[in-house]
Amino acid sequence: MGTKVHNGSLHLSRQTWGRTWGLPSQEVAKGDIAMPTTTQLVISEVSKPGVLARVSSALGNGGVNIKAFSAPEVTGTGKGNLRLLVADVERARAVLKAAKVRFREETALVLSLENTPGALSRVAEHLKQARVNIKCAYCTPSREGKRAIVVLTVSNTRIALDTLRGESLDEI
């Protein structure tokens, strides 16, 4: 889905993520407009040398491409959450189980925003107004650099989808 801003308003439109990133997506439809979601794998581990190496090696050796990941700094408990978007969720499940890596799954929204100042703030403001908490967020620029790929996990996916879709006027 792409984002366009007209007169300070947020406008979201559909884009096929399977072709762009090869992500497994579910199309959550409302009328003629759909917004992709994806399954994000979450691995909770104590922060120590070798955790990322073990997980990424298992996936790589199993032929699973990692499309995006987040491994934030760990404080307090010493445990952190490694979040992964992969090209083949089914294969990743099998590989991680075989490697005895415990994981859980969560639904994530995948947004394509214009890579300009304020694009993320408009999305965040709409979710704030709908009282949807952003639990986790990370992003990366697209290959061309004109778009930013933003991954969000939120407190209520359905409301987030409805809120962001409600602003949609354009379709790619």
pLDDT the model gives residue 115 = 86
Find all residues with CB under 8 Å of 14, minimum gap 6, and list them: 1, 2, 33, 34, 35, 171, 172
Give buried/exposed letters for 6-30 (b at 16+ CB in 10 A, else e): eeeebbbbbbebeeebebbbeebee
Beta bridge partners of 134: 154
What end-to-end distance do the CA atoms of the chain give, in Å? 8
Dihedral sign from CA coordinates of 14, 151, 107, 89 = positive
Query: Which fold is adopted by the domain 2-38+108-165?
Result: Alpha-Beta Plaits (3.30.70)
Can you tell me the distance from the alpha carbon of 59 to that of 23, in angstroms, rounded to the nearest whole number? Answer: 15
**CATH number at 39-105:** 3.30.70.260
10-14, 127-131, 134-138 — which is least confidently predicted? Answer: 10-14
Whether pLDDT at 170 is above 50: no
Whether pLDDT at 77 is above 60: yes
Can you tell me the distance from the alpha carbon of 23 to that of 109, in angstroms, rounded to the nearest whole number? Answer: 11
Mean pLDDT of the 110-117 span:
86
Whether pLDDT at 91 is above 90: yes
pLDDT the model gives residue 146 = 82
What digits encode the pLDDT tens for the residues 10-52? Answer: 434 344 333 334 444 444 444 434 457 899 999 999 989 999 9
Mean pLDDT of the 95-106 span:
97
In this structure, are residues 115 and 103 in contact, taking their beta carbons and an 8 Å threshold? no
Look at the block and give the residue holding tokens 């602003």.
167
| Band (61; pLDDT cuts 50, 70, 90) | very high
Which range is most confident: 31-40, 100-109, 111-120?
A: 100-109
Every domain range in the chain assigned CATH 3.30.70.260: 2-38+108-165, 39-105
Mean pLDDT of the 148-158 span:
92
